Structure 1
Amino acid sequence: MYRVWNFITNYSLLLILGAVIALVWANVSPVSYEHFIETVLIEDFFIGAAVMGENGEVTRELTLHYLVNEVLMAFFFAMAGKEVWEAVILKNGSLRGKKAATPLVATAGGMIGPVAVYLGLAYFLGSDTYDAVARGWAIPTATDIAFSYLVGRFVFGAGHPAVRFLLLLAIADDAIGLIILAVFYPDPLVPLSLSWLAVSFGAAIAVYVLFNYLPRRLDAGNELRPVSTWVRNKLHFLPYLAAGAISWYGFEQAGIAPALGLLPIVPTIPHADRAFGIFSEAEKHLKDLLNRIEHLLAHPVEIILFFFGLFNAGVQFSSIGSPTWLVLGGLLIGKPLGILIFGAFAANILRLGLPAGMRTVDLVVIGCVAAIGFTVSLFVASVAFESGTMLGGIEVQAAAKMGAVFSFGAVITSVIAGKLCRVQKQHV
């Protein structure tokens, strides 16, 4: 039993609303929109966007855009990281065992295919285009879990095994996407600092030892595990909030996307003994600290996603250009091809198989559904290209963002692919 509709209404509709307002605002009054999102809250602050001064000195200024994208979105990525962590580490986790083998291989195809199409088409368009857009290769690799899952249920029916396959693929895609963001998109104005990165992981190790390792040591030989149980059910979130703040600051000073700064802390939080699955109704009854924190963050993240859409989707339609079509080509062509080729190879050549009731041709439809990039694609576009970088009179970042917004066209291609592949809907 999945709480999909609640998840979609809580998260996705507010995100869409913010994006729609941004699109309208940016096209009706682009100057006021740009002035709004770049509003400087505090100049020469200890956190904020790195800016190059006239004397070549790098300082930081806290803008509304930075506050939303790098501070508040850290909570969104922490929740995404929580789902990935549980899927990997907990008993019955969806990314454990043979059941996840074919989806994981298909995920690799869903990353490689878009990159190949994006860079291949860019190379075909000439060296000027390629040089201008090459840094955005990761934009079309993203899959929006919530939207793709909703469309997958519409196309396949809630009871079709392809829906579960799609969900596993989307979770794995997000996990790889987080790694890509951290490794390939550091702040160009801030040199990578391993010592500051060590501060982040030091904070994670400290809370892990205090609230995971030591309680288990104290419970050694006691089957009731009283100390571990008390920590898991009663410990307040404040120690982890403090550790998260230190970790976030370490990421920022290290030159790595600070929006990912809470991820080292997530695995250290006392959690449930088994996973019930993303969107599972049972999760709302879990009282462990990790799930309690997720419940506390649920409504604030709804608002955060609204502002993320508002601050990132405001692109003028005149910005449509070659980066737009490259992102769309990577998503709408590269995703289905990559997932089909790699998924079929895993299922039929490596003999890893597909879930009972699922056909190889269903991989085509899954690939079309997974082509909805939106949220993470928008985020990657915002960090891949510097604002103001131009190509043929069009701002590259804005054009790439428009491709991420237009990825909603995958809804149409998914429905058409479902009809052509003769998908038989299966309901619960």
Structure 2
Amino acid sequence: MYRVWNFIANYSLLLISGAILALVWVNLAPNSYHDFTEMVLIDNFFIGHAHVDANGHIHRTLTLHYLVNDVLMAMFFAIAAKEVWEAIILDEGSLRGKKAASPLVATLGGMIGPIVVYLGVAAVLGSDVYDAVAKGWAIPTATDIAFSYLVGRIVFGAGHPAVRFLLLLAIADDAGGLLILAIFYPSAALAPSWLLLSVVAAVAVFFLANWLPRRMDRGNQLRPNSTWVRKTFGAWPYIIAGCLSWYGFQESGLHPALGLLPIVPTIPHADRAFGIFAAAEAHLHDLLNVMEHGMKIPVEIVLFFFGLMNAGVEFTSIGAPTWLVLAGLMIGKPAGILLFGWLAAGPMKLGLPQGMRIIDLFVLGCVAAIGFTVSLFIATVAFDGGVVQEAAKMGALFSFFAAVVAIVAGKLAKVEKQHLE
């Protein structure tokens, strides 16, 4: 049984509240809003925005915006990475085997389609527009798991196979989004040697706190060494390794919000998982699940501040990037998922889940067009602050209208809702 309503309440309402507050604040008092988001917390610090002074020395300034987007959002991406990791490596993982083949192909279409539409329409609008917005090509590739899952249940019913298909697609989409952020959107000039710090931290904590105790316990069902390590040190070895890895990402030029990703696979995990929305997840007591549950309330608070820091867009900023992001999401997503899903089901002979039709792929694509959280995040790293970034953010916010489009598409496609028995 899925606990989707609790998930939406816990993870999304605070995010929406922060976004609404930001929109109201910036349109009533833009100066005070921007002063708040760019508030300097500590100057000449070891973390923060890098600046070169008059003498050519680099120093960092920690602002409230940097603290939220680059430091604290690392916890959000760690949770996303945990779900992707489970889906890939566990024997019953949702992204393993033939059952994941069609959703993975459809996911590829759901990322290529928006890019083609975004860049294609930009090219039609002229070279000036294209040059100004080209860096934002990845913004419409994202799918917001929580909101799309909620709308998917409304459109298809909780028991429809398209909902499971959508969840697999959204998880795979998250994995693709993390790769895009890491490869195409560095936060500064690349210094790859610093990634050795992340690699060493991950290897060391896996060897000393995970592999070695289990190796020493081989053949002993009581697992005395593993138990001693966990009771004595708890999550601290992984927290310390996470801090080192995060710092390595910051100094390497990769976006530091992804800095915890190398550590997630090193944390002990049970050989099963029930899924991101499953109530039974609360009863798994392996360290990775315990740490995820421990981050639940902090991440809720972080998402509120993420919405507050990033959704402050003046309505006068609406422009070409707004419509390009929307076109990529609301035209490119459904078209790409439909085309590639059809290729998977037909010519590639991978099939669709029993009870799911080809036309359901289009409806599902409309649901997946809700970008919001990750689209908003990519917009902040794709463009420097200014008119283009603000307009692109508005497109990410407007992607909520995809929910209405999806509901209408479901009616027109005569989707028969299926409920859990």
Deviation at 1:214, TM superposition (A): 1.1
Q: Does the Cα contact within 8 Å between 1:122 and 1:133 map onto a contact in 2?
A: yes
> Are 1:319 and 2:311 counterparts?
no
Give the secondary structure class of the aligned counterpart of 1:349. Answer: coil
Provide structure 2 residue ranges, at least 5 long, that are not aligned to the other structure: none
Matching residue of 1:246: 244
Structure-2 change in CA distance of 1:3 and 1:230 (3 Å):
farther
Give the secondary structure class of the aligned counterpart of 1:123. Answer: helix
> Are 1:30 and 2:30 counterparts?
yes
Deviation at 1:57, TM superposition (A): 4.4
Describe the superposition over 1:210-267 as per-residue Cα deviations: whole angstroms up to 9, x where unpaired: 1222123213344565544665687501111100000000000000100000010000
Which of 326, 337, 340 is residue 339 of structure 1 equivalent to? 337
Describe the superposition over 1:33-74 as per-residue Cα deviations: whole angstroms up to 9, x where unpaired: 011100111112111012344555442110000000001100
Describe the superposition over 1:46-105 as per-residue Cα deviations: whole angstroms up to 9, x where unpaired: 110123445554421100000000011000100111111111111211111111000000
Structure-2 change in CA distance of 1:28 and 1:318 (3 Å):
same
Matching residue of 2:211: 213
What is the aligned residue count? 420
Matching residue of 1:424: 416
Give the secondary structure class of the aligned counterpart of 1:43. Answer: strand
In the TM superposition, 1:160-179 aligns within 5 A as 160-179=160-179
In the TM superposition, 1:45-64 aligns within 5 A as 45-54=45-54, 57-64=57-64
Matching residue of 2:389: 397
Matching residue of 2:303: 305
> Are 1:71 and 2:71 counterparts?
yes
In the TM superposition, 1:179-328 aligns within 5 A as 179-187=179-187, 190-222=188-220, 225-228=223-226, 236-328=234-326
In the TM superposition, 1:40-189 aligns within 5 A as 40-54=40-54, 57-187=57-187
Describe the superposition over 1:110-164 as per-residue Cα deviations: whole angstroms up to 9, x where unpaired: 0000000000011111111111110000000000000000000000000000000
Give the secondary structure class of the aligned counterpart of 1:328. Answer: helix
Q: Does the Cα contact within 8 Å between 1:235 and 1:289 map onto a contact in 2?
A: no
Residues of 1 paired with 2:212 and 2:15: CA distance?
A: 41
Residues of 1 paired with 2:55 and 2:354: CA distance?
A: 65
Look up the equivalent residue of 1:244 and give its one-letter code. Answer: G
Q: What is the identity percentage for the equivalent residue pairs of Structure 1 and Structure 2? A: 70
Describe the superposition over 1:346-369 as per-residue Cα deviations: whole angstroms up to 9, x where unpaired: 011111010111011100011000
Question: Under a length normalisation based on structure 1, what TM-score does the superposition of the two structures give?
Answer: 0.96
Describe the superposition over 1:262-288 as per-residue Cα deviations: whole angstroms up to 9, x where unpaired: 010000000111121111111101111
Residues of 1 paired with 2:315 and 2:267: CA distance?
A: 44
Give the secondary structure class of the aligned counterpart of 1:51. Answer: strand
Residues of 1 paired with 2:52 and 2:334: CA distance?
A: 42
Look up the equivalent residue of 2:338 and give its one-letter code. Answer: L
Structure-2 change in CA distance of 1:359 and 1:213 (3 Å):
same
Look up the equivalent residue of 1:408 and give its one-letter code. Answer: F
Q: Does the Cα contact within 8 Å between 1:315 and 1:402 map onto a contact in 2?
A: yes
Matching residue of 1:370: 368
Give the secondary structure class of the aligned counterpart of 1:416. Answer: helix
Q: Does the Cα contact within 8 Å between 2:14 and 2:300 map onto a contact in 1?
A: yes
Alignment root-mean-square deviation, CA: 1.4
Give the secondary structure class of the aligned counterpart of 2:339. Answer: helix
Residues of 1 paired with 2:295 and 2:253: CA distance?
A: 26
Matching residue of 1:392: none
Q: Does the Cα contact within 8 Å between 2:326 and 2:398 map onto a contact in 1?
A: yes
**Greater mean deviation of Cα atoms: 217-226 or 285-294:** 217-226
Q: Does the Cα contact within 8 Å between 1:47 and 1:60 map onto a contact in 2?
A: yes
Matching residue of 2:357: 359
Question: Under a length normalisation based on structure 2, what TM-score does the superposition of the two structures give?
Answer: 0.97
Residues of 1 paired with 2:153 and 2:147: CA distance?
A: 10
Look up the equivalent residue of 2:151 and give its one-letter code. Answer: V
Residues of 2 paired with 1:125 and 1:232: CA distance?
A: 59
Q: Does the Cα contact within 8 Å between 1:233 and 1:288 map onto a contact in 2?
A: no
Residues of 2 paired with 1:52 and 1:133: CA distance?
A: 27
> Are 1:381 and 2:373 counterparts?
no
Structure-2 change in CA distance of 1:273 and 1:65 (3 Å):
same
Q: Does the Cα contact within 8 Å between 2:209 and 2:237 map onto a contact in 1?
A: no
